[in-house]
């Protein structure tokens, strides 16, 4: 019987992943939305792990995504690998290659040095996977720091502290326009600058299929990782910390270690999503870290179901598509409703009402119902079997 449940779970994964894989064929004109939806799904479900499972109400999740995105962008802007030294920039020798850090001047030191470098010198950017990895590491590092700093803070204090962190980070990125480009944004190279050949078909750099696949793999990987985490001792421990920190500690849960670990891991997930997002949208601005974005992610998680990773992810995908659908203005007679703004009003109201009346979200109960039905059938089958085995026992 347990095998049946496992099969059902595996089947769900295959069907879900398969559906997401063929989704672009169904809506070829909306691939952009699909990629952004997956980006939000990663953020919402990792926030659900942090807040719904662990009870840590952090508002810095978008800041971690921003850290991932900006690390990827800044590495692409300032770091180069060359085959000859420049003698002008800061540089380190890496066995035949030189790691060159450009300055903010115009022209940059590398451009000035180019003239004097020997012919045939190769100057290349970091590959995308490497700067995304660096972004994940930076995100994890900050998650570790924040996690260690907020150990003593609960609920409201934690929320205030993380808002403060997110705002300081955003302000700093906004203000240091020499380095980050400020509110105007930072240009990021595409995910595969020279295009990529997959299954015998060449995709150009602007093609949306490769970023979709990368985001999808990232999403499925993170979901699998999170389900594994949530089902392991780690998940049990963080849930016990959510319910009662002192009681969990007294029963032998290493509260400090698990809280920090939770922050680090979810920050890394967010940073990974941010890194891929940066390479996909190509221009990132501090606007991706404003409170509004955080509200959107929280609403997605709450409406989907904060205590369910899958619920939060489905909520995020559905809501992102709904938000895009609702962009068209509605005209009633001479009166035009500008839906670009009003859709967010509807969304805010929906968030409050969901919280008030359906604390488990709108999608999680449906998931529960579907999975429960399997359980119910199983129970019925078991009882029938038992009844067949000993016919004298009264069946209920």
Partner 1 sequence: MNFPSYFWYTVLWLIFWGAVGALVTPRVYTRKDKFTYQTAMLGAFVGAALGPVGLILLWWFTPPASLKWLGLSGLLILVWLAAAFAKADPDNLCVTSGSFIATQITNGLVIGAIYGLMALGLTLIFSILGIVSFAHGEFYMLGGMVTYYATEVWFPDLNPLVGVLIAALFTFALGAVFELLFLRPMITGQIERPGEYAILVTFGLAFFLQYTTLSLVGASPKKASRFFDYPRVKIPAETGDLLKITPGNLTFFDLISIPTARFTALMIALVLLFALLYFLYRTWTGKALRAVSQDRQAAAVTGINPKRMNTLAFALGGMLAGISGAALVQVFSWVPWVGIPASSRSFVIIVLGGMGSLPGAFIGGLILGVVEALGAGCVPDPHRAAAYLPAYGMIILVLVLLLKPTGLFGREL
Q: Which of 287, 273, 265 has its CA nearest to residue 135? A: 273
At residue 319, the 3 state secondary structure works out as helix
Does 368 participate in binding partner 1 (rule CB under 8 A)?
no
- Closer residue to partner 1, CB minimum distance, 49 or 272: 49
Helix 61-78 to helix 291-304 angle, to the nearest 10 degrees? 130
- By CB under 8 A, name the one of 11, 164, 375, 376 that touches partner 1: 164
Q: Could you tell me which stretch among 202-210, 312-320, 322-330, 347-355 binds partner 1 (CB under 8 A)?
A: 347-355
For tokens 């809501």, name the residue: 319
- By CB under 8 A, name the one of 14, 124, 148, 175 that touches partner 1: 175
- Closer residue to partner 1, CB minimum distance, 192 or 364: 364
Cβ contacts of 366 within 8 Å, gap of 6 or more: none
- By CB under 8 A, name the one of 356, 392, 394, 396 that touches partner 1: 356
- By CB under 8 A, name the one of 4, 116, 171, 328 that touches partner 1: 171
Question: x-or-dash pattern for partner 1, window 116-155, by CB under 8 A?
Answer: ---------------------------------x--xx-x
- Closer residue to partner 1, CB minimum distance, 92 or 342: 342
Tell me the site size for partner 1, rule CB under 8 A: 40
Q: How far is the CB of 26 from partner 1 (least distance, A)?
A: 31
- Closer residue to partner 1, CB minimum distance, 172 or 322: 172
Q: How far is the CB of 183 from partner 1 (least distance, A)?
A: 9
Give yes or no for a contact between 44 and 305, defined as CB atoms under 8 angstroms apart. no
- By CB under 8 A, name the one of 184, 231, 348, 374 that touches partner 1: 348
Element (H, E) at 335: strand 335-337
Q: Which of 66, 69, 181, 189 has its CA nearest to residue 126? A: 189
Length of the chain measured in residues: 396
Give yes or no for a contact between 73 and 188, defined as CB atoms under 8 angstroms apart. yes
Main-chain phi, psi angles of 105, to 5 degrees = -65, 170
- Closer residue to partner 1, CB minimum distance, 59 or 192: 59
- Closer residue to partner 1, CB minimum distance, 79 or 358: 358
**C-alpha–C-alpha distance, residues 222 and 42, integer Å:** 7
- Closer residue to partner 1, CB minimum distance, 72 or 306: 306
Residue 125 has what DSSP assignment? P
Does 324 participate in binding partner 1 (rule CB under 8 A)?
no
Restricted to residues 274-303, the positions that interact with partner 1 (CB under 8 A) are 291-292, 295, 298-299, 302
- By CB under 8 A, name the one of 93, 156, 390, 395 that touches partner 1: 156
Does 159 participate in binding partner 1 (rule CB under 8 A)?
yes
Q: Which of 264, 64, 293, 273 has its CA nearest to residue 166? A: 64
Cβ contacts of 380 within 8 Å, gap of 6 or more: none
Q: Could you tell me which stretch among 14-22, 51-59, 87-95, 135-143 binds partner 1 (CB under 8 A)?
A: 51-59
Does 355 participate in binding partner 1 (rule CB under 8 A)?
yes
For tokens 């400090």, name the residue: 256
- Could you tell me where the DSSP H helices lie in the chain? 2-26, 31-47, 61-78, 109-114, 128-149, 155-175, 177-180, 209-231, 233-243, 245-250, 255-281, 291-304, 309-325, 339-357, 364-389
Restricted to residues 53-82, the positions that interact with partner 1 (CB under 8 A) are 55, 57
**C-alpha–C-alpha distance, residues 240 and 283, integer Å:** 41
Q: Is the peptide bond before 176 cis (omega within 30 degrees of 0)?
A: no
Q: Could you tell me which stretch among 112-120, 259-267, 324-332, 345-353 binds partner 1 (CB under 8 A)?
A: 345-353
Does 341 participate in binding partner 1 (rule CB under 8 A)?
yes
- By CB under 8 A, name the one of 10, 148, 345, 384 that touches partner 1: 345
Residues that bind partner 1 (CB under 8 A): 51, 55, 57, 149, 152-153, 155-157, 159-161, 163-165, 167-168, 171-172, 174-175, 291-292, 295, 298-299, 302, 338, 341-342, 344-345, 347-349, 351-352, 355-356, 359
């Amino acid at each position: 019987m347990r095998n049946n449940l496992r099969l059902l779970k595996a089947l769900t994964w295959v069907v879900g992943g398969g559906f997401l894989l063929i989704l672009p064929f169904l809506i070829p004109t909306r691939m952009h939305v699909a990629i952004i939806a997956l980006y939000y799904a990663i953020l919402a479900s990792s926030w659900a792990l942090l807040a719904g499972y662990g009870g840590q109400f952090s508002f810095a999740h978008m800041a971690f995504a921003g850290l991932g995105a900006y690390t990827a962008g800044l590495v692409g802007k300032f770091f180069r690998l060359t085959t000859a030294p420049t003698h002008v920039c800061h540089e380190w020798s890496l066995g035949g290659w030189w790691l060159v850090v450009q300055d903010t001047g115009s022209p940059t030191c590398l451009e000035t040095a180019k003239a004097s470098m020997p012919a045939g010198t190769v100057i290349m950017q970091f590959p995308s996977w490497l700067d995304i990895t660096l972004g994940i590491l930076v995100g994890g590092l900050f998650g570790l720091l924040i996690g260690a700093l907020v150990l003593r803070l609960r609920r409201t204090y934690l929320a205030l502290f993380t808002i403060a962190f997110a705002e300081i980070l955003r302000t700093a990125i906004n203000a240091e326009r020499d380095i980050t480009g400020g509110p105007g944004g930072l240009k990021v190279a595409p995910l595969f600058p020279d295009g990529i050949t997959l299954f015998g078909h060449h995709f150009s750099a602007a093609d949306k299929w490769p970023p979709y696949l990368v985001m999808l793999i990232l999403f499925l990987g993170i979901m699998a990782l999170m389900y594994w985490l949530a089902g392991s001792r780690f998940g049990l421990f963080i849930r016990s910390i959510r319910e009662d920190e002192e009681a969990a500690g007294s029963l032998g849960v290493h509260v400090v270690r698990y809280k920090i670990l939770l922050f680090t891991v979810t920050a890394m997930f967010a940073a990974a999503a941010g890194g891929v997002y940066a390479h996909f949208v190509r221009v990132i601005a501090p606007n991706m870290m404003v409170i509004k974005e955080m509200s959107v992610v929280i609403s997605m998680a709450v409406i989907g179901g904060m205590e369910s990773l899958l619920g939060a992810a489905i909520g995020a995908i559905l809501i992102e598509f709904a938000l895009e659908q609702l962009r068209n203005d509605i005209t009633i007679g001479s009166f035009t409703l500008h839906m670009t703004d009003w859709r967010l009003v509807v969304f805010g109201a929906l968030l409050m009402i969901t919280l008030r009346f359906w604390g488990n979200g709108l999608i999680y109960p449906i998931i529960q119902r579907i999975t429960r039905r399997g359980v119910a059938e199983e129970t019925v089958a078991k009882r029938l079997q038992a009844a067949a085995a000993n016919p004298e026992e009264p069946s209920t």
